[in-house]
Chains A and B, each alone.
Chain A
Amino acid sequence: MDELVAAHGSSEVRRTPLYSLHLQLGARMVPFAGYEMPVQYPAGIRAEHEHTRTQAGLFDISHMGQIRLEGENAAEWLESLVPGDIKGLVPGQQRYSVLTNAEGGVIDDLMITRMPDHYFLVVNASRKQHDFDYLQSQLPADCALTHLTNKGLLAIQGPTASTVMARLDSRLAELPFLGATTSTLAGIECLVHRCGYTGEDGYEISTDNTEVETLARLLLDNPEVKPIGLGARDSLRLEAGLSLYGHELDESTTPIEAGLTWVIAKKYRSDNPEFARFPGANIILSQVIHGPKKILKGFRPEGKIPLRDGISIYDGEGKITGIITSGAYGQTFAGPVAMGFVRNIPDTHLSYTVEIRNQRHRIISTDLPFVKHRYYRKFR
């Protein structure tokens, strides 16, 4: 009896609206950010990765947090929390940004969209409750925040994603990169963004929990589309040089260290900068000018040995100079790929090594991304 209670008490694992579909598709489910998520389907991670780069992959990202923000001064307020230009967004335009803390670290990375009468935020699954509580605690009286727990989220990614989406709504073929629009797909009300986390062209589609499975099945009915699990999602984003919260980003890493200098609005970096109010602005803007102590780089092994998250990086003198934060097999790159932080010193003649099973292996610092981005080339 005690065991039953204990087992029940510890099984606070949540499921997305696509849980039964995943099982039906033969997914192997794993716990991720408090959810039971598909890590792979029977095709396997390498095949799923390949399929996304050559056709179109469908991802269940319903575990991510979706937040609605309303209020006259919402943009003004957001600019007190993130280093990006939010007031400059036009309706239907989305921007990647980061919530910073007073030390310049990253509370979370997120997508912010300006809609005609509100802002729409997508945050990481592992941080959504934390983010929502934080935002709520900072919220001015004239703004309102809603955690859209009634919404699910799908991503369709790959070179044929736009062909598939255009069959449901022809306007979507021309939706600009980082653009957003409401759309009715086979009778289902959706919010569609042209964005993603693979480096490929693609879309993210938000819709009611009750409609997610119908929409997913509809998309899977297209011959181009196959379901893709978290395993390939990770190797795809890693090849694309995109950071993952908890790996490349955390509360003790600044966006500058993580190679995200581009998220800092130009208005804070001009000759006559606008006063920046986001937390940690002094530290972050100083790093923009003087450079950070550590920097994020891409790495690959000289041979074929996989580089795993958490292993130390040694410099030419054998001293620890950094750490690998993500590693995966890059199916498109055709070899292991990794990202990690190292001390920010000129590295023209630096040789890096890692130690795996008591043996030193040379690793090579590599430009990011490993695989060229192929986003839709029309901007707003």
Chain B
Amino acid sequence: MSTIKFTDDHEWLRLENDGSVTVGITDYAQEQLGDVVYVELPEAGTSFEAGKEMAVVESVKAAGDVKVPVAGEVVEVNVRLTEEPELVNTDPLGDGWFLKIIPENLDDLEELMDESQYHEYIGGL
């Protein structure tokens, strides 16, 4: 059973069975951004610090960063987004994923919101 966590910047992080963590932006985030037309992804193998910008998502209206509050290494990126950035709108929690990371410390994920906490959080926005 995979665990899904949420940041207050509207990224989701899903712990996969192989120990990697898939990262994307939430349905709320894609809704706020509007039609996504461009996604800039890092190279696989890039190391990053906690809270550092890892990817950029640009919509018809705005540009946003994708960052996660954990340190780690990018192991895979969703290359489909280069040609089909609209996947972020149509399937934000599925085919619209951004990248997979291996966190330095999995415990860091514990600090993040779970699904019900996140729903409560966006309800207050």
Which A residues fall within an 8 A CB radius of B? 39-40, 44-46, 231, 235, 304-306, 308, 328-329, 336, 357
Contact = CB atoms under 8 A, between A and B. Distances in A.
Give the contact-size bracket for chain B. 10 to 19
Contact of A40 (B34, B37, B38, B40): B34
Nearest to A304: B38
A44 B40 contact: no
A45 B38 contact: no
B40 A305 contact: yes
A235 B63 contact: no
B27 interface: no
14 contacts: A40-B34, A44-B34, A44-B89, A45-B60, A46-B35, A231-B61, A235-B60, A304-B37, A304-B82, A305-B40, A329-B35, A329-B37, A329-B60, A336-B37
B60 A328 contact: yes
A328 B62 CA distance: 10
B37 A306 contact: yes
B63 A308 contact: yes
Contacts of B71: none
A62 B92 CA distance: 36
Interface string B69-85: 00000000000001001
Interface string B1-43: 0000000000000000000000000000000001101101000
Interface of B: 34-35, 37-38, 40, 56, 58, 60-61, 63, 82, 85, 89
Given A45-B35, A306-B37, A231 B56 contact: no
A231 B38 CA distance: 17
A266 B8 CA distance: 60
A329 B38 CA distance: 10
A336 B38 contact: yes
A329 B60 CA distance: 6
B30 to A, nearest CB: 11
Given A329-B37, A336-B37, A336-B38, A45 B61 contact: yes
B60 A46 contact: yes
Contacts of B60: 45-46, 231, 235, 328-329
Contact of B34 (A231, A304, A306, A308): A231
Nearest to A30: B61
A65 to B, nearest CB: 26
A228 to B, nearest CB: 13
Nearest to A336: B37
Contacts of B61: 39, 45, 231
Contacts of A329: 35, 37, 60
Query: Most chain-A Cβ atoms within 10 A of its Cβ — which of B58, B82, B89?
Result: B58
A120 to B, nearest CB: 34
